A and B are shown apart, each in its own frame.
Chain A
Amino acid sequence: MKKIDVIEFEKEVLPQILEFFDKTLNDDGKIIDKFTGEVLRDPFTNEELNKDNFAGILPGSSLFISKNLASLAEFITEREKNNKE
């Protein structure tokens, strides 16, 4: 089997993906916690996450990130540093 780096999902199934993590979209298209109603924010940039700027979830602490490449760059750097890949 070839090495798998990323699980990709199509934008259309975002609600189902979020559901899996107990998150959902509110009427404004923002991503919220299903139980607290709190709007999720990118932990690196503090941006509110919505259906358009949401990039995905990073492993570890399940970080929900926006489409900011800096978050990906840090993740790759960290992984390489820890020789996890």
Chain B
Amino acid sequence: MTDLLKLLIDEEVIKIADGIIKIISEKLRKKFNEIKKKLEKKKLSKPLLVSEFAEEYYKLKNISRAEKYNLIKKYIDSKYWSIILLGMRAREAYLAGDIDGSGKIKKDASMRYGRDAVILINLIIQGYFDEIVDTTILQKEKGKTNSDIVVWLNDKIEKYIKFFPFAFWVSILDSSIKIKEELIRRCITNGLTNVNIHTIGKENIEKIEEVIIELSKDKHFPKFNYSKDYESEEYNAVTFKIEIK
């Protein structure tokens, strides 16, 4: 007897198919008492997961191992990589039309890491992370040193998570007042001249447009130009670009 895995295989309680071990319920029921007698307390060497959840393990792992990310993964602080993985999984779910699945991941991330993680995940859903990946690869190709890339990359991600100065995300939960406050804070309090607002969905787009119209008439708010770029018409994904004159 070596470990749980080995023992279960020896007892023929499991079968191997496509790299996945499935414990067959009926057989397990019949043999469990017998197995238990033989088992000593051994630490698991593999995750032991309920089948309906194990699929998520493989999906996350496949994303993490995607060739495209191999180059940059080593430059990213591991504390961020977990959130990025969740973001990529949320993007995958979102693009497959699984809005509930995408929302569940955001909820999970929020519970674990707080709302800042959701901000990052929303950006990843929008494709921002791929943009970062492409830029990083480009820097590598241009001969930047690894240490330069590490600083640049972590700084960029850190800014998205913690400070988020130049761009923000509007969700269904954000009120018009909140959007207005976010713009005032950036453009008046912090004196920024360029701010991007990202959102998905007709209702959110209309909400932002109303705020923009309101602010354009507000004599206390600086004069500005704005553009509205559809990143995906299919999903109503839009970036509003505000430029103070």
A residues lining the B interface (CB < 8 Å): 1-14, 16-17, 19-20, 44-45, 47, 54-62, 67-78, 80-81
Alpha-carbon distance A76/B81, docked complex (angstroms): 10
Query: Could you tell me if A7 and B8 are in contact, using CB atoms closer than 8 angstroms?
Result: yes
B residues lining the A interface (CB < 8 Å): 4-5, 8, 14, 16, 18-23, 25, 28-29, 32, 36, 39, 43-54, 56-58, 60-61, 64, 73, 78, 81-83, 85-86, 89, 104-105, 108-109, 111-113
Query: Could you tell me if B112 and A8 are in contact, using CB atoms closer than 8 angstroms?
Result: no
Pick the contact of B50 from A5, A9, A68 — CB < 8 Å? A9
A4 to chain B, nearest CB (A): 5
A71: chain B residues within 8 A (beta carbon)? 112
Query: Could you tell me if B86 and A70 are in contact, using CB atoms closer than 8 angstroms?
Result: yes
Query: Could you tell me if A69 and B44 are in contact, using CB atoms closer than 8 angstroms?
Result: no
Query: Could you tell me if B43 and A67 are in contact, using CB atoms closer than 8 angstroms?
Result: no
Query: Could you tell me if A77 and B50 are in contact, using CB atoms closer than 8 angstroms?
Result: no
B56: chain A residues within 8 A (beta carbon)? 69, 72
Pick the contact of B43 from A1, A4, A45, A60 — CB < 8 Å? A60
Query: Could you tell me if A62 and B50 are in contact, using CB atoms closer than 8 angstroms?
Result: no
Alpha-carbon distance A79/B45, docked complex (angstroms): 11
Knowing A8-B20, A69-B105 touch, does A80 contact B64 (C-beta < 8 A)? yes
Query: Could you tell me if A75 and B89 are in contact, using CB atoms closer than 8 angstroms?
Result: no
Pick the contact of A56 from B18, B53, B61, B104 — CB < 8 Å? B53
B73 and chain A: residue at smallest CB distance: A80
Pick the contact of A76 from B32, B60, B109, B112 — CB < 8 Å? B60
Query: Could you tell me if B50 and A56 are in contact, using CB atoms closer than 8 angstroms?
Result: yes
Pick the contact of A45 from B29, B53, B64, B111 — CB < 8 Å? B111
A55: chain B residues within 8 A (beta carbon)? 49-50, 53
Pick the contact of A12 from B21, B25, B108 — CB < 8 Å? B25
Alpha-carbon distance A13/B22, docked complex (angstroms): 12
